[in-house]
Chains A and B, each alone.
Chain A
Amino acid sequence: MQQVFKRPTSLKDVQTHFCSGCHHGTIHRLVAEAIDKYGVQERTIGVASVGCSVFLYGYFDIDVVEAPHGRASAVATGVKRAKPENFVFTYQGDGDLAAIGTAEIIHAANRGEDITVFFVNNTTYGMTGGQMAPTTLVGQKTSTSPYGRNKAKDGAPVRMAELLAQLEGVAFSARVAVNSPKNLIDAKKQIQKAFQYQVEGKGFSFIEVLSACPTNWGMNPLAANERVGTEMIDYFKLGVFKNL
């Protein structure tokens, strides 16, 4: 027998700090598989953001620059402009990318920076303990929306993949999920496609990945996973919104 599934080379063989049932681990692996598939490990520079994903350098065996909260796409812009021959990606959460880093992501996308952005949407601020995020669903209770997100006061959740797809500079924008085998296989395909865009120098590629946060949702891992497939996908539709 041959081993047909194993840890990607660019993913370090270490225990992660992620909670049980958190999808970050899965998304990390899919990104690492794409790094291996395209053979770019030796020339990849990752940009870590602030949040649960800050320890990117602890899990990926690649060079990493750590960005201030929300600024990953600006940092990646600086990296890529200085080193256009390198493969550059950011990995950001929803608070990081869709709240404090909104200006940075929109303008990096609009300039069509030749970078790849992985956006992990779990409808909450994970690292700080489950506060309301720009992607928190209407009615969802969090530690700072104890009565549920109120659309009239807090606005509706932001759909980043659709929003960015409208910008001229964006070559590829898609939303995927990793909650079921079917969605996961598609996520793998789209993540690899996002890589391909940069490898071929086609411009800015964006992948939003829906993720469970069992701990801050107050759910067990299976219930949280279920929520991704029902409530989240119902509002955050999966699909490819831009594919130049």
Chain B
Amino acid sequence: MTKRLFVKGNEAVAMAAIEAGCRYYFGYPITPQSDIPEYLSRELPKLNGEFIQAESEIASINMLLGASATGVRAMTSSSSPGISLKQEGISYMAGSELPGVIVNISRSGPGLGGIDASQADYFQSVKGGGHGGYHIIVLAPASVQEMYDLTMLAFDLADIYRMPTMILADSVVGQMKEALIANKRPVRDLPAKDWAVRGKGGGEQRVVKSLYLGDGELEAHNWKLHAKYQALKEQEVRWEEYETAGAELLVTAFGSTARIAKTAIMMAREAGLKVGLLRPITLFPFPEKALLEQTKTCKKVLVMELNAGQMVEDVRLSVARDAEVSFYGRPPGAGSLPTPEELLEQIRKHL
């Protein structure tokens, strides 16, 4: 019988990284993600890995860039203001086609904001938060088990597509304890890293770079990156559907908010209301087609977020012509999360 553990979401991320073969971690302390570096500072040395507490978020993302350039699996983690600092390096990694896992246990802003749970980093995560017009893969776990499973998946996707991959969660998912089945790393055919620097070793020179100055080179490079984003949309979209059969109102929410929305939907179904949930698990690539599919039978979509409206824009882009899209959200600051009752009231209002 598989052993069930009782761990924090942040710990699950760290455990999954190790199971995925990650032996290099570079980070900087920030609440509410510090359990991740704390765990890895303890465990990586036992595995002959390297843990560096860097001088800044900027340094840590660049250490990740350097380690990833050699072909090893490596990770960094932070929270919103720290992710802002990392965006420079993320853009360079995207431009240099480097894999690497970045965990964002986000907090509220703007500026120093606060440390309570927030989903206000949706834009800076899925829209290419740094300069230059790129995307990274963004996975949004909603449970401790998913923190584990999606972190392992993140390493695979990063390697397959040669792209930075982000885990976007918040303190609700990162700090809570739940049962976890720590699955073994799935066996998967991964492409050889024949681009990684290793010292020429008698072979051809290898260069990891994002500078393209030759006539037409950069345009060709950008189209190449764009083709990967299109391939992700075809091959890697993940989402969860809950009680969507016969729904007259489709709630769309991700991460922590989706958990609360699910409870609200259970209550709604008990009250005989025809409401379902579509929870994007990949925020990029976004489940555009899955949403559109739902609007064949359901003409009302209610987007719930812990911000003043971000993912709702992607929902509108996906289904605006086929369904009426409304939004309920709360930016952080009230010191509390929305209750299931509060969301149920919104469901009733929009049905």
Which A residues are in CB contact (< 8 Å) with B197? 45, 63-65, 79
Of chain A, the residue at the smallest CB distance from B196 is A63
CA distance A77 to B198 in the complex (A): 15
**Is B199 within 8 A of A62, CB to CB?**
yes
Contact in complex: A66, B207 (CB < 8 Å): yes
Interface size on A, residues (CB 8 A): 36
Flag whether A104 is at the interface (Cβ < 8 A): yes
Contacts of A171 in B (CB 8 A): none
A164 CB to closest chain B CB (Å) equals 14
- CB of A76 within 8 A of CB of B66, answer yes
CA distance A47 to B52 in the complex (A): 19
Most chain-B Cβ atoms within 10 A of its Cβ — which of A42, A71, A82? Answer: A82
Is A37 located at the chain interface by the 8 A CB criterion? no
Q: Which B residues are in CB contact (< 8 Å) with A65?
A: 65-66, 69, 197, 207-209
Asked if A75 meets B74 with Cβ closer than 8 Å, knowing A63-B197, A63-B199, the reply is: no
Is residue A44 within 8 Å, beta carbon to beta carbon, of the partner chain? yes
Cβ–Cβ contact B202 & A42, under 8 A: yes
Are A86 and B199 in contact, with the CB atoms below 8 A? yes
B50 interface residue (CB < 8 Å to A): yes
A87 at the interface (CB under 8 A from B): yes
- Residue B92 at the chain A interface, CB threshold 8 Å: yes
> Within 8 Å CB of A74, what residues of B?
54, 58-60, 62-63, 66
> Which of B50, B56, B198 is within 8 Å of A63, CB to CB?
B198
Q: Tell me the residues in window 44-81 of chain A with beta carbons closer than 8 Å to chain B beta carbons.
A: 44-45, 47-48, 54, 57, 61-68, 71, 74-81
Say yes or no for A151: interface residue by CB 8 A criterion: no
Residue A43 CB within 8 A of the other chain = yes
| B64–A57 touching, CB < 8 Å | no
CA of A65 to CA of B37, assembled, Å: 26
A47 to chain B: which residues have CB within 8 Å?
Answer: 66
Closest CB of chain B to A35's CB: distance in Å? 11
Q: Tell me the complex Cα distance, A96–B26, Å.
A: 22
A residues near B, CB below 8 A? 40-45, 47-48, 54, 57, 61-68, 71, 74-83, 86-87, 103-104, 106-107, 111
Given contacts A48-B209, A62-B199, 5 further A-B contacts (CB under 8 A): A43-B200, A65-B209, A78-B24, A79-B66, A80-B66
* Residues in chain B within 8 A of chain A (CB atoms): 24, 26, 50, 52, 54-56, 58-60, 62-70, 72, 74, 88-89, 92, 96, 197-202, 205-211
- 23 residue pairs from A and B, CB less than 8 Å apart: A42-B200, A42-B201, A47-B66, A57-B205, A61-B200, A63-B198, A63-B205, A64-B206, A66-B209, A66-B210, A67-B92, A74-B63, A77-B52, A78-B62, A78-B64, A78-B74, A79-B197, A81-B52, A81-B63, A81-B67, A82-B67, A106-B55, A107-B54
